[in-house]
């Protein structure tokens, strides 16, 4: 919780170990999670990421009792508890930012959408921001349409940062698509920025080791070491959205 910026922040780490690699590799769409079935779009989502957040898991509480709960519900409950600690007059001033790198970026994308979409214990935030780095794609056309609907309402914003020649954020299959405003960082020149801006794998192939383009250190270097990027980084999220606001399907 940041009292100065009036913001709650949720962060997800990137891929670490075999279990996470197996999560990343489950590209088949998962049946629409139960909490989204009331939406008209019935979003279909990457099976691994959806299972990570929305499958029930055994949780041992401090008193020794066990309960089945999803990671999504655990995070939302924690946010709600922190929100209710605020003075009532101050609550309307707070928003939430969800961030992460690689696998964490995909989970941040999905969590931000879930908080903005569902009415179950999440309505206390008027605005939700996802700020992701090297995020894989999360869903297909139906997920993109559902995501856009919340963007059009002003409920949801996503700044998706990707590196040129980083293969992880690319499109693994034609039926997947990215979302949000993409800041695409190039190695020696000014970044490009556009709405969605889904890249196919072949467009990002290079002769160098692809992992060198994926690490957070390389992302930080490209963001801040290229002078021409400064003018874009000084723009507000509202300005970035207004400049690329096509909401194309």
pLDDT tens, residue by residue, 45-71 = 888 888 889 888 888 777 778 888 899
Alpha helix positions (H), 12-169: 18-24, 47-54, 71-84, 88-91, 103-117, 141-152
Q: What is the pLDDT of residue 247?
A: 59
Instruction: Write the pLDDT tens digit of every residue in 73-84.
Output: 999 988 888 888
Percent of the chain with pLDDT strictly greater than 70: 90
Burial 176-187 (b: 16+ CB within 10 A, else e): bbbbbbbbbbee
Residue linked to tokens 């709600």: 80
- Phi and psi at 201, nearest 5°, equal -55, -45
Residue 229: pLDDT above 80?
yes
| Length of the chain measured in residues | 249
Among residues 125, 137, 143, the alpha carbon closest in space to that of 197 is found at 137
pTM: 0.89
**Per residue in 102-132, pLDDT tens?**
999 999 999 999 998 876 556 677 789 999 9
The confidence score (pLDDT) of residue 20 equals 57
């Amino acid at each position: 919780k940041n009292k100065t910026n009036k913001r709650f922040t949720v962060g997800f780490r990137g891929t670490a170990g075999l279990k996470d690699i197996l999560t990343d590799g489950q590209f088949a769409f998962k049946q629409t999670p139960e909490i989204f079935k009331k939406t008209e779009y019935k979003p279909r989502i990457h099976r691994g990421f959806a299972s990570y957040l929305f499958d029930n898991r055994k949780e041992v509480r401090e008193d020794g009792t066990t309960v089945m709960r999803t990671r999504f519900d655990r995070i939302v409950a924690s946010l709600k508890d922190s929100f209710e600690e605020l003075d009532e007059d101050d609550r309307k001033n707070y928003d939430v930012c969800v961030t992460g790198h690689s696998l964490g970026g995909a989970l941040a994308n999905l969590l931000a959408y879930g908080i903005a979409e569902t009415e179950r214990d999440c309505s206390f935030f008027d605005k939700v921001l996802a700020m992701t780095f090297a995020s894989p794609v999360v869903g297909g056309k139906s997920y993109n349409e559902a995501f856009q609907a919340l963007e059009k309402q002003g409920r949801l914003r996503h700044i998706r940062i990707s590196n040129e020649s980083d293969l992880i954020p690319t499109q693994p299959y034609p039926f997947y698509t990215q979302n949000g405003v993409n800041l695409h960082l190039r190695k020696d020149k000014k970044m490009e920025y556009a709405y969605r801006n889904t890249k196919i794998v072949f467009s990002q192939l290079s002769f160098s080791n692809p992992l060198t383009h994926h690490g957070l250190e390389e992302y930080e270097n490209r963001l801040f070491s290229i002078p021409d990027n400064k003018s874009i980084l000084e723009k507000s999220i509202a300005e970035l959205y207004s400049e690329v606001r096509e909401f194309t399907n």
